Structure 1
Amino acid sequence: MFVDSHCHLDRLDKTDSELKDVIAFAKQRGVDHFLCVAVSVKDFPEMLAKVNDFQDVSVSCGVHPLHQEDACSFDELLEMASKPEVVAVGETGLDYFYSADTKDVQRQSFIDHIKVANQLSKPLIIHTRDAREDTLALLNEYKDSETKGVLHCFTESLEMAEAAIELGLYISISGIVTFNSAKELQNVVKALPLEKLLIETDSPWLAPIPYRGKQNQPAYVVEVAEFIAQLKGVSVKQLAEITTNNFYTLFDAIKRK
């Protein structure tokens, strides 16, 4: 069985009825659980309401670095992330590729998320792009040693991945790895230990080949798994088993069936 460790079900261009079909299709393909990740604390109640009836969907709470117009205070984040439904803090992090002009705001938001994760003993879901040094520096400075987390939709260097693993983080790989232009990322994935990998779709974005250009959905995590299994020289079954075990180890508030 597979797990989609990072998706945005509330951002899919689907009605409530169509979303049920999306989940059912993923389950038919062997996807057992879904982590629906928040990009805005302001929109979190609406996201929760949209997925609350699905027993196999868990949720996070946080503010994406590119959604700083929805920035919230530390106390607001702590209050929302304290809810028992919330299994992780984020998505948070730094993105200097798309929004270098908000560096200072992003850094403070990231620090707040790290501190909330420490206080609640919940793992961090981290977005990082073109911000390797600052991402690692802030994690080194503020993250408690026992606080876990993941660098999601990873596209950075092997050196950064290894440094993150040293900090107790996992590395999650999306459909980007299947792109013809992703040779460097493919080499990084080959070098990383399976015991530190997760798989995700980041749907509705970044659909893997052969669905590139279409709206992504959790069922397509199977193609991500198949591609990584080939890269790593293992069976798809083994890849699925290990990444699923990794998911439940990281997000240990989720009860495994």
Structure 2
Amino acid sequence: MLFDTHVHLNADQYEEDVEEVIERAKEAGVENMVVVGFDEKTILKAMDLVEKYDFLYAAVGWHPVDAIDLEDRHLQWIEELSAHPKVVAIGETGLDYHWDKSPKDVQKEVFRKQIHLAKKVNLPIIIHDREAHADIVEVLKEENAQEVGGVMHCFGGDAEIAKECLDMNFYISFGGLVTFKNAKLPKAVAKEVPLDRLLIETDAPFLAPHPYRGKRNEPAYVKLVAEQIAELREMSYEDFANETTKNAQKLFGLI
């Protein structure tokens, strides 16, 4: 039993075959997924999907790359949607210093606003962190984000950053990156994170694991992530799958 904690079934890449993609995921043992909406279009599509499929849940938030496009009406809308029984998190939000569409100060302001909102509606936060580890940790600490906690999605930091996030009530989630042969750091961290704070994801359609690297990712491939980390930790695949699923259910308030 697997739980893909971060997937974009609402992406254009699945426009033609989303039902087949979902069916392949179920065949691979994926029993639940969180569909993440990060702008107006993808939030709408995420909500459509969770209304249609009982095993899908949604996260609603605003991506840091598009922070400059956020308006007050969007925040109000996200707050309203957060009351929906199938919305389980706020996000993805955070900081992305790889792209330069939104200035860093604007990203930080929008990030802080979404932390405030998560605390107001008492939902965990899904954190996007690209080339911004130190600033992410600083903002989370300053805003006392540990009150609601959440998940560091597609974690790419070192063990020290992981510990700071764990200390703030955050889970650490790994995706396809951990399967890459040259990904020494993610493999090392995946071995060290306490089992009860570890999650798995695909971020599909992005970041497909080995041997599909460079191709469209699918939630079915979360099984490859689980197999890789179970092997690293010298655990049975079944035990690892069950433990990470329980972690996801706990984080998202599903048990």
TM-score > 0.5, shorter chain as reference: yes
Map 1:67-82 to 2 at 5 A. 67-73=66-72, 74-82=75-83
Structure 1 alignment gaps of length 5 or more? none
Q: Name the counterpart of 1:143.
A: 144
Q: Name the counterpart of 2:84.
A: 83
How far did 1:92 drift? 0.1
Letter of the 2:63 counterpart: H
Give secondary structure in 1 for the equivalent of 2:91: strand
Map 1:1-257 to 2 at 5 A. 1-15=1-15, 18-41=17-40, 43-73=42-72, 74-99=75-100, 102-252=103-253, 254=254
Total equivalences in the alignment: 253
Tell me, yes or no, if the aligned pair for 1:41 and 1:62 is still in contact at 8 Å.
no
Letter of the 1:121 counterpart: N
Instruction: Give the Cα separation in 2 of the matches to 1:178 and 1:188.
Output: 13
Instruction: Give the Cα separation in 2 of the matches to 1:99 and 1:84.
Output: 35
Give secondary structure in 2 for the equivalent of 1:13: helix
TM-score (normalizing by structure 2): 0.93
Instruction: Give the Cα separation in 1 of the matches to 2:237 and 2:148.
Output: 30
What whole-Å deviation, never above 9, does each CA across 1:188-245 have from its counterpart, x for those lacking one?
Answer: 1112111111000000001101111210000000000000111111011111011001
Letter of the 1:47 counterpart: A
Instruction: Give the Cα separation in 1 of the matches to 2:204 and 2:166.
Output: 25
Query: Where does structure 1 differ by over 6 angstroms across 4 or more consecutive aligned residues?
Result: none
What whole-Å deviation, never above 9, does each CA across 1:144-195 have from its counterpart, x for those lacking one?
Answer: 5431200000011111100000000000000011112211111111121111
Give secondary structure in 1 for the equivalent of 2:243: helix
Instruction: Give the Cα separation in 2 of the matches to 1:158 and 1:100.
Output: 30
Letter of the 1:39 counterpart: F
Tell me, yes or no, if the aligned pair for 2:50 and 2:86 is still in contact at 8 Å.
no
Instruction: Give the Cα separation in 1 of the matches to 2:11 and 2:102.
Output: 25
Letter of the 1:115 counterpart: H
Identity among equivalent positions (%) equals 40
Letter of the 1:188 counterpart: V
How far did 1:125 drift? 0.2
Q: Structure 1 pair 30/171, CA: closer, same or farther in 2 (3 Å)? A: same
Tell me, yes or no, if the aligned pair for 2:97 and 2:132 is still in contact at 8 Å.
yes
TM-score (normalizing by structure 1): 0.93
Q: Structure 1 pair 12/231, CA: closer, same or farther in 2 (3 Å)? A: farther
Alignment RMSD (CA, Å)? 1.7
Tell me, yes or no, if the aligned pair for 2:200 and 2:226 is still in contact at 8 Å.
yes
How far did 1:39 drift? 1.4
Instruction: Give the Cα separation in 2 of the matches to 1:239 and 1:249.
Output: 15
